[in-house]
Amino acid sequence: MKPSEDRACRALQNGMVCAASYLVPADRRCEWRCEWKAELWHVRHALCGCGAFSWQAQCEVTSFCLGSLQDALCLRRQSRPAAKAAPRLSGAAGQCILRLGTLLAVCVVLARLLPGVQAENDPARFQVNPGVILIQTFASTDQFAPTISPALFRDWKSTRQRYFDEFAFYRTVGETAAWSARRAGQWRVTHASSNLFSLLGLALPFVPFPSDREGGLSAVIISHDSWRRDFAYDPDVAGRVIRVGDRSARIAGVMPYGMWRLPGEPDAWLLEPDAQLVKSSPRARGYLVAHLSPRGQAAMQGQCIWISVRASEDEDSEYYGVSFAGRLRGPWNIFGFALVLALLALPAVTSVTMGESNYSSHRPSLKRTLLRWAFLLAKFLLVAAIAYFASVDLAWWNSSNYSPVAEFAQLVWAFTICLFGFRWALADQRQRCPVCLRRVTHPARVGLASRTFLGWNGTEMMCMGGHTLLHVPSLPTSWFSGQRWMYLDTSWEFLFADSGAW
Amino acid sequence: MAAEAKLSHTAAMILQAISAGYVYGFSIMEMTGLPSGTVYPAMRRLERDDLIRSQWEKQSIADAEQRPPRKYYRLTADGKATLEASRKRYPLLERLISTEEAKSL
């Protein structure tokens, strides 16, 4: 017997029955509560009668109590008058907000489910050591192309530097990898300095194998994709010896999903001594990562630093370094940039004013006016939130590493959704009745285009609540340039069945 | 309510269960396998249409057995006629809930 659990379950079940009774119309509440409580006693007696506490029995009793809520809701529906039971909500403001909210919820759920998006939203991914930069040659047009030779890395590392206090180098090549006697494949292997990850400040859960230093085995870290594709998520993969190119290496760990945010999308990282790295072909090119000294940090111009090196007596080599803080912008920064762009571009695609006037001197009350603006603001906020989550979902759904293409895709999607979403929000707002915020319907053509100079022609629409008529000129003239609202007085209400519902 | 009135299968099952002797809400739920959220509203509709009638048990009987009083249901004359018509429409109804089974409990 578990008296505390039993008491808690009983309290929950009694509470549910009591709560259900408050949903029942007051005149029948007492009788229903008595009946449910009486039946609940018998249900408990039948299911928990033997005295032993059983979760299964408690679940069945609780499901009986849940049924009382359904009973109550059913009674509540039956007790409502027919006219109020089914108000016409087509085009209502609440429905619009509900649809946008549903769309937002779908985007948020997708963002929670897609591993690439989860990795992108993880702030830990953007935490690299401050003062770490990526150096490339100034002449390079592609900022993500490998441009640094191993010899340059060796020269810079072996000489005293004013602006830098540590260097690491990596280059990615295609090599054959064999992870069992029968299974081999072509991998993109990054040959990296052994200090690369410590220089970047990536806290990776790697397994150290001190004995390999004597045995000559290099440590290799495999990507999450390789672990899934080639090792079927084998939890004991660490410690296995595989062949990478013409040498053996021991797997030291798996790179967490989305952790690698530097150029290149390798399948494995082979950590090598510097002497081994510079042995490669003189034509080989890679990436140079450096840590700025205090003097170097003072010389930074924004997120960049320009480096000029005297290569020979009459020739200088130009390089530039970009801070990782600038490179790793993160989805929020990209979205913020897209949002500003969209707001700036909005006047080019639609009129940003409501552009309306009244036929009469009638003005909606302050409460109605505030509600109208709040509704517009809510639409803008929801559209912006949808743009953020949808753009992140579309751009990062399958990206496990840093990808400039995905960043660009997020920027484009966010900008597009924001721009056209805001345009829709404004256009929608212009066609909503200022009194009840429902969309005006039943468009009717009025006037003849051939008689523009004699009378107005355009479209007339009606609020289904009987509050307003909207006149939209098809050809703006100096005396009828924008849409106009005509407020209908209360004598019209009898024509509209749902004038009170909005 | 006319005897020819057409009932849904759920309502007919509830009428048959009451006729067979399952006269409490929970016993009807157990017998028919219908959930609480279906049985009670259906019984209220049947009561509204005068096919069944409910009555609270006497407090003294409940006190003697140390339990709360129950509400029990019985068929009205209209209810019996409607059930007869429903049995023709749903021939398996009697086999699903037989009177003998209820009496044996």
Assess whether pLDDT exceeds 70 at residue A83: no
The answer to whether A79 contacts chain B (CB < 8 Å) is no
ipTM: 0.71
Q: What is the pLDDT of residues A25-80, one digit of tens each?
A: 888 788 788 888 888 887 787 777 666 677 778 888 887 787 777 778 877 777 76
Whole-angstrom Cα distance, residue A332 to residue A414? Answer: 11
Residue in chain B lying closest to A20 (CA): B37
**Measured on CA atoms in the order A202, A207, A213, A216, is the torsion positive or negative?**
negative
Chain B interface test: which of A74, A75, A77 (most B C-beta within 10 Å): A74
The answer to whether A59 contacts chain B (CB < 8 Å) is no
The answer to whether A30 contacts chain B (CB < 8 Å) is no
The answer to whether A97 contacts chain B (CB < 8 Å) is no
Chain B residues touching chain A at CB-CB below 8 Å: 24-26, 29-30, 35-41, 44, 56, 67-71
Phi, psi of A476 (to 5 degrees): -60, 130
The answer to whether A37 contacts chain B (CB < 8 Å) is yes
Whole-angstrom Cα distance, residue A436 to residue A463? Answer: 8
Paired with B55 in beta bridges are: B72
The SS3 call for residue A468 is strand
pLDDT at A210: 56
Assess whether pLDDT exceeds 60 at residue A336: yes
Q: What is the pLDDT of residues A271-327, one digit of tens each?
A: 888 888 777 777 788 888 888 888 888 877 777 788 877 766 666 778 888 777 656
Q: What is the pLDDT of residues A227-286, one digit of tens each?
A: 888 888 888 888 888 888 888 888 888 888 777 878 878 889 988 888 887 777 777 888
The answer to whether A78 contacts chain B (CB < 8 Å) is yes
Residue in chain A lying closest to B24 (CA): A39
Question: Which among B29, B37, B67 is the nearest to A41, CB-wise?
Answer: B67
| CB < 8 Å to B25, chain A | 35, 39
The SS3 call for residue B42 is helix
Whole-angstrom Cα distance, residue A163 to residue A307? Answer: 9
